[in-house]
A = this chain, B = another copy of it.
Amino acid sequence: MKKIQIFDSTLRDGAQARGINYSLADKLNVLKLLDSFGIDYIEAGNPASNPKEREFFERAADIKLSHSKLVAFGSTRRKDSSAEEDAGVQALLSAGTKTVSIFGKAWDLHVTDVLNTTLDENLSMIFDTIEFFKSKGIEVIFDAEHFFDGYKANPEYAFKVLETAQKAKADYLVLCDTNGGTMVCQMREAVRKCASSFTTPLGIHAHNDSELAVANSLIAVEEGAVQVQGTLIGFGERCGNARLSSIIPNLELKMGYKCLPEGKMNELYETCRQLAEFTNLVFDETLAYVGQNAFSHKGGMHIDGLKKAEGSFEHINPDLVGNRREFLLSEVAGRSAMASKLESEYPEVAKDKQKVSELMNKLKDLENEGVSFEGAESSFKIFIMKELGMHKPQFKLIHFKVFDEPSHHNTFGAYAVVKVDVNGQSRMAAADGNGPVNALDKALREALGIFYPELTKVVLTDYKVRVLETSHATGAKVRVIIESSDGKDSWRTVGVSTDVIEASLYALIDSIDYKLLENEVH
């Protein structure tokens, strides 16, 4: 099977999407996630653009990637300069990556009207910049920006751009449909022409402005492209980039190409979910392959058909991508998922079909209320222990009350009062904070610290809030996920309520509970 290189730009082009704003920690998490999934190239931002990008590359250098190549992104040198002296080129070099992607203009209109330079100078800018990085032993992926628009407007010049990049020994020539306006027939014709004209391997970089990014990427591969650029779940400027979560299974399960390392395809669903968590955007459940609706069946005829003939109303077996079938009007399968979750800690329970079914039903009830243990494994563990009657709580919260008002010299601002019970001993505590949840967190630790001094080492390292049903606005349910750490281990817990403070409290209680349970075991 022919191998297609997968190039993900969630951290670079994906950051251009409306509503996306990565923290440094998010970016590092995405890097590790995509590496462990087996993406070939992971493109991050432009080190010249801001200090946050520079810091990312410094921190990323300490991470040992198991599969992926990290790519820094930048432009060709400025006009009337040299590559050596160009600040942007130097910034790109300073990222210290073994691969860079460099974009240059392939549409004459952009050269003359946006860059305000000559067509010849643009070719020199491309040549010099690529040559500079190649002379440093760095792999260069050349992005021919607006290639398809350029090919329409001035095909001769668009080809000259590719020839120049080839002459400068670029490792890949990537054909970019930057505006996303290219129709499938134009795509096929242009890529075919390029494949017969250049010996350098071709890549495709498509945008979704005509809802054709996936199709255009597949067509480019059929015509000879060996690298597909996109973003895993389609984030990107305007309508987004080509969605790799659709392209990868289409290529690998339908068209006979190889994209991922062996055994990774069935991690697709889970990987996409985790990526969405980092970005805190609502997941589109109608997405091909990875949406929760992708294999859910509502029509009675379809459900009946599926029961009579497996595959009669599904284009693939959902297990192949780690998704699952769902009948919206009937009982849910997915027992095997639960069993496999149980296997490591409670192998005897995993074998008990009756028990697994009971747990599944209970989990379904919770899911209907909006609780999800995705990304909150410690709460899942506590849930299982409670259901199996193996959970001995180390404390009980008897009451809490939270107050919040503007903080002046004569008010408390945000503050909380709690009362806990530990083995029959009750204790009250109060604390203020820079918000009600922070106050509650401090008050809880204050109350429990005398019984469990190990809690003083615990800090909260992440806090995420997600609104579940936006249609109800401030009356909607929210899901809070917190990550805690004792300096050695970290763990994540979840809480759900219509009340953001209560949701946070549930997650805090699970976090403390988990820490104390772990201490008891070890």
> Which one of B254, B293, B316, B441 lies within 8 Å of A239 (CB-CB)?
B293
> In the complex the two chains form, is B436's CB within 8 Å of A238's CB?
no
> In the complex the two chains form, is B211's CB within 8 Å of A285's CB?
no
Give every chain B residue within 8 A of A23 (Cβ-Cβ): 468-471
Q: Would A19 and B434 be within 8 Å (CB), given that A179-B314, A280-B471, A500-B500 are in contact?
A: no
Give every chain B residue within 8 A of A246 (Cβ-Cβ): 210-211
Q: How far is the CB of A446 from chain B (nearest CB, A)?
A: 14
Most buried by B among A296, A473, A504: A473
Q: In chain A, residues 271-298, which have Cβ atoms closer than 8 Å to a Cβ of chain B? A: 280, 282, 284-289, 291, 293-298
Q: Is A433 an interface residue (CB 8 A)?
A: yes
Give the interface segment out of A34-42, A337-345, A380-388, A457-465.
Answer: A457-465
Q: Would A502 and B435 be within 8 Å (CB), given that A18-B296, A215-B215, A288-B209 are in contact?
A: yes
> In the complex the two chains form, is A435's CB within 8 Å of B404's CB?
no
Give every chain B residue within 8 A of A282 (Cβ-Cβ): 282, 470-471
Q: Is A158 an interface residue (CB 8 A)?
A: no
How far, in angstroms, from A289 to B179 measured CA to CA in the complex? 12
Give every chain B residue within 8 A of A17 (Cβ-Cβ): 286, 293, 298
Q: How far is the CB of A402 from chain B (nearest CB, A)?
A: 4
> Which one of B26, B209, B473 lies within 8 Å of A463 (CB-CB)?
B473
Q: Is A110 an interface residue (CB 8 A)?
A: yes
Give every chain B residue within 8 A of A109 (Cβ-Cβ): 309, 312
Closest to A404 in B: B402
Q: Is A132 an interface residue (CB 8 A)?
A: no
Q: Is A64 an interface residue (CB 8 A)?
A: no
How far, in angstroms, from A478 to B473 measured CA to CA in the complex? 17
Q: How far is the CB of A50 from chain B (nearest CB, A)?
A: 7
Q: How many copies of this chain does one complex carry? A: 2
Q: How far is the CB of A478 from chain B (nearest CB, A)?
A: 7
Give every chain B residue within 8 A of A25 (Cβ-Cβ): 470-471
How far, in angstroms, from A471 to B277 measured CA to CA in the complex? 12
Q: In chain A, residues 489-508, which have Cβ atoms closer than 8 Å to a Cβ of chain B? A: 497-502, 504
Closest to A405 in B: B401
Q: Would A403 and B406 be within 8 Å (CB), given that A18-B285, A467-B465 are in contact?
A: no
> In the complex the two chains form, is B237's CB within 8 Å of A331's CB?
no
> In the complex the two chains form, is B374's CB within 8 Å of A254's CB?
no
> In the complex the two chains form, is A405's CB within 8 Å of B402's CB?
yes
Give every chain B residue within 8 A of A299 (Cβ-Cβ): 16, 237
> In the complex the two chains form, is A255's CB within 8 Å of B183's CB?
yes
Q: How far is the CB of A22 from chain B (nearest CB, A)?
A: 11
Q: Would A184 and B184 be within 8 Å (CB), given that A215-B214, A478-B465 are in contact?
A: yes
> In the complex the two chains form, is A434's CB within 8 Å of B475's CB?
yes
What are the interface flags for A452-489 relative to B under an 8 Å C-beta threshold, 1 for contact and 0 otherwise?
00000001111111111111011110100011000000
Q: How far is the CB of A188 from chain B (nearest CB, A)?
A: 9
Q: Is A315 an interface residue (CB 8 A)?
A: yes
> In the complex the two chains form, is B473's CB within 8 Å of A460's CB?
yes
> In the complex the two chains form, is A499's CB within 8 Å of B18's CB?
no
Q: Is A392 an interface residue (CB 8 A)?
A: no
Most buried by B among A16, A304, A404: A404
How far, in angstroms, from A478 to B504 measured CA to CA in the complex? 14
> In the complex the two chains form, is A297's CB within 8 Å of B237's CB?
yes
> In the complex the two chains form, is B214's CB within 8 Å of A211's CB?
yes
Q: How far is the CB of A280 from chain B (nearest CB, A)?
A: 6
Q: Would A284 and B285 be within 8 Å (CB), given that A237-B298, A414-B499, A465-B500 are in contact?
A: no
Give every chain B residue within 8 A of A61 (Cβ-Cβ): none
> In the complex the two chains form, is A441's CB within 8 Å of B474's CB?
yes
Most buried by B among A209, A375, A413, A466: A209
What are the interface flags for A82-120 relative to B under an 8 Å C-beta threshold, 1 for contact and 0 otherwise?
000000000000000000000000010110011010000
Q: Would A288 and B210 be within 8 Å (CB), given that A328-B18, A401-B405, A402-B404 are in contact?
A: yes
Most buried by B among A16, A374, A474: A474
Q: Is A267 an interface residue (CB 8 A)?
A: no
Q: How far is the CB of A28 from chain B (nearest CB, A)?
A: 11
Q: Is A199 an interface residue (CB 8 A)?
A: no
Q: Would A374 and B19 be within 8 Å (CB), given that A402-B404, A436-B500, A473-B462 are in contact?
A: yes
> In the complex the two chains form, is A212's CB within 8 Å of B210's CB?
no
> In the complex the two chains form, is B214's CB within 8 Å of A280's CB?
no
Q: How far is the CB of A432 from chain B (nearest CB, A)?
A: 11
> In the complex the two chains form, is A467's CB within 8 Å of B470's CB?
no
- Could you name 7 residue pairs across A and B whose Cβ atoms are closer than 8 Å? A16-B298, A23-B471, A179-B313, A211-B214, A238-B297, A434-B498, A473-B482
Q: A21-B372, A184-B218, A211-B288 are in contact. List 14 more A-B contacts (CB 8 A).
A: A17-B298, A18-B285, A23-B470, A49-B332, A181-B316, A184-B219, A210-B289, A212-B215, A238-B286, A238-B293, A282-B470, A435-B478, A435-B501, A436-B499
